[in-house]
Chain A
Amino acid sequence: MGFDQFVADRLDRLLGYATAITCDKHLAQDIVQDVLMRAQGKWERIGAMDAPYLYVKRMVTNDYLSWRRRKAAKEIAVERSELAERVPSMADPADAHAEREAMRARIAILPRKQRAALVLRFYEDCSDAEIAQVLGCAESTVRSQLSRALQTLRAHELARSATLGVHS
């Protein structure tokens, strides 16, 4: 597949993925642009792979998890954690939109790698093996990252229901 064709087919999806793991559309745009520029330079090799999309996704993920992006990621996390604190008190438990927003805020403050694993599973529908490939780790590590993320989200979910229960 040619580079231009790849971009035409996958750019939107790649932006969605990057936005979901970074929780910041501008940071996502920067990363995707940088990665695609780099990918173009070695497209002869990437294009010949079985799964170019998986490889480019790995580049995007690595870029985000790299030390270069740590500061940007931290700033977003702080912003989102403030938001997360406010959401429960405003929410109506019957409001699906509020529920979803509350969950979004909680996902945004997960550790970066856990969130990446979560997005790969729930947005990209990747298997453990594929996630391991993208994150560059063992499958057992993927499983532990996912279970820790789910544990955290569940704990928050329980706490939130309890809080709202008291108020209603």
Chain B
Amino acid sequence: MNDLIRQAIAAEADERVDSRTVLAELHKRRKSKPFGLIIGVATLTVAAAAAAVIIPTTIKKTDAAPANAPVAEAQNVLLIGTDETHRSDALVLARFEGDGSATVISLPRDIYVGASPDRLNSLYMQDPRRLVDAVEQLTGTRVDHWAAVNMAAFGEVAAAVGGVEVCLNAAVNDPYSGADLPAGKQVIAGDQALAFLRQRHGLPLGDLDRVKRQQAFLAGFAAKITGETGPVLARLVGKAVQVDEGWDVVAFATRFQGPVKIRTSTLLVNQEVVRDSAYGYAVDPAQGKKFVEEQLSGKGQAGTGCVD
């Protein structure tokens, strides 16, 4: 009878749930923030840079544009910040209105594509068109063009506009990122700009605060872009930017006449899942579409105050 008992107990134990489900739950509980839902976060230091860089690049082209260009149509552009190994590190869906104002939505790069084990950040290397398709599905929004920016160019870019104004609620001194900044309004550039964007240790809300920093930086950066700084920036980053074939960048650029107004937000994700032993976020396409629609129709927040 003992063997039978052994078999029966083993059969009962075999009913156990997949340990990966439990791992994901533990991971989620450990990370859960006061907001109650997990905010997926675009890590990118550089997503902000991606958005900021494409604008000056196109401004340069404006010089050659006909003076009496027709009023531009709104266009949706996927901005891809890549690292030195050409991986997409930051993803931003941006809608540029005819008047040059922009709405940008950071897309967490760890979002799973549909039901597959692929995450967004793996698609760009495979084929930029696959990434574009996946983003269209996720957001229910047409993507007209894409631009990829090598983020390594970013430090110089920030310096080229004479620094970017940001405001910190409290002084920071973070050995991980090298961020060493006083409280209050200040102009940052170069290494400190990168550290400001990269810091994730010691922030009250962790990654959520980091995205706020990126967005604050982006807003400050956009405010510095003018017809004068544009050409300089364009020269700096021209080689670091790649756009899809068939994008008439000159026509696109006619909309930028002065400092760019930007509204920013981050796609909310609330369900963390594990596939092939890797953590990521699953996003319900219906929710993603609703969120993106609301943001693009002007409900996103303009500007940012001081950040943590």
Whether B11 contacts A26 by the Cβ 8 Å rule is: no
In the assembled complex, the CB of A129 is this many whole angstroms from the nearest CB of chain B, namely 20
Whether B13 contacts A16 by the Cβ 8 Å rule is: yes
Q: Is A72 close to B, CB under 8 A?
A: no
Q: Is A56 close to B, CB under 8 A?
A: no
In the assembled complex, the CB of B10 is this many whole angstroms from the nearest CB of chain A, namely 7
Whether A29 contacts B22 by the Cβ 8 Å rule is: yes
Whether A100 contacts B19 by the Cβ 8 Å rule is: no
Whether A107 contacts B25 by the Cβ 8 Å rule is: no
In the assembled complex, the CB of B98 is this many whole angstroms from the nearest CB of chain A, namely 51
Give every chain A residue within 8 A of B16 (Cβ-Cβ). Answer: 12, 15-16, 18-19, 25, 28-29
In the assembled complex, the CB of B31 is this many whole angstroms from the nearest CB of chain A, namely 12
Give every chain A residue within 8 A of B4 (Cβ-Cβ). Answer: 99-100, 103
Give every chain A residue within 8 A of B10 (Cβ-Cβ). Answer: 20, 123
Q: Is A135 close to B, CB under 8 A?
A: no
Give every chain A residue within 8 A of B19 (Cβ-Cβ). Answer: 11-12, 15
Q: Is B276 close to A, CB under 8 A?
A: no
Q: Which residues of chain A (92-124) have a CB below 8 Å from chain B? A: 99-101, 103-104, 107-108, 118-119, 122-123
Cα A11 to Cα B18 in complex, Å, equals: 10
Whether A15 contacts B17 by the Cβ 8 Å rule is: yes
Give every chain B residue within 8 A of A26 (Cβ-Cβ). Answer: 17
- Chain A interface helix/strand/loop/mixed: helix
**How many A-B contacts if CB must be within 8 Å?**
84
Whether B8 contacts A100 by the Cβ 8 Å rule is: yes
Cα A84 to Cα B59 in complex, Å, equals: 77
Cα A7 to Cα B29 in complex, Å, equals: 15
The listed residue (B5, B12, B23, B25) touching A153 by CB distance below 8 A is: B5
In the assembled complex, the CB of B15 is this many whole angstroms from the nearest CB of chain A, namely 5
- Scoring B2, B5, B7, B19 by chain A CB atoms within 10 A of each residue's CB, the highest score goes to B5
A29's nearest neighbour on chain B, judged by CB, is: B17
Interface size (B, Cβ < 8 Å)?
Answer: 24
Q: Is A142 close to B, CB under 8 A?
A: no
Q: Which residues of chain B (1-44) have a CB below 8 Å from chain A? A: 1-2, 4-17, 19, 21-23, 25-26, 29-30
A96's nearest neighbour on chain B, judged by CB, is: B7
In the assembled complex, the CB of A3 is this many whole angstroms from the nearest CB of chain B, namely 10
Interface size (A, Cβ < 8 Å)?
Answer: 34
Cα A26 to Cα B16 in complex, Å, equals: 8
Chain A 138-168 interface mask (CB, 8 Å, partner B; 1/0):
0000000000001001100100000000000
Give every chain B residue within 8 A of A17 (Cβ-Cβ). Answer: 13
Whether A19 contacts B15 by the Cβ 8 Å rule is: yes
Whether A7 contacts B23 by the Cβ 8 Å rule is: yes
Q: Is A134 close to B, CB under 8 A?
A: no
Also in contact, A11 and B17, with CB within 8 A (given A23-B12, A103-B7, A107-B8): no
Whether A25 contacts B25 by the Cβ 8 Å rule is: no
The listed residue (B1, B12, B26) touching A7 by CB distance below 8 A is: B26
In the assembled complex, the CB of A137 is this many whole angstroms from the nearest CB of chain B, namely 20
Whether A104 contacts B8 by the Cβ 8 Å rule is: yes
A-B contacts, 29 listed (Cβ < 8 Å)? A7-B26, A11-B23, A12-B16, A15-B16, A16-B13, A16-B14, A16-B16, A19-B12, A19-B13, A19-B16, A19-B17, A23-B12, A25-B17, A28-B16, A28-B17, A36-B22, A37-B30, A40-B30, A103-B8, A104-B8, A104-B9, A107-B8, A107-B12, A118-B5, A122-B2, A122-B5, A122-B6, A123-B6, A123-B9
Chain A residues at the B interface, C-beta cutoff of 8 Å: 7, 11-12, 15-20, 23, 25-26, 28-29, 32-33, 36-37, 40, 99-101, 103-104, 107-108, 118-119, 122-123, 150, 153-154, 157
Closest 7 pairs (CB-CB, A-B): A16-B13, A103-B8, A19-B16, A15-B16, A20-B13, A104-B8, A12-B19
5 further contact pairs, Cβ within 8 A, besides A19-B12, A28-B17:
A7-B23, A29-B21, A100-B11, A107-B9, A122-B2
Chain B residues at the A interface, C-beta cutoff of 8 Å: 1-2, 4-17, 19, 21-23, 25-26, 29-30
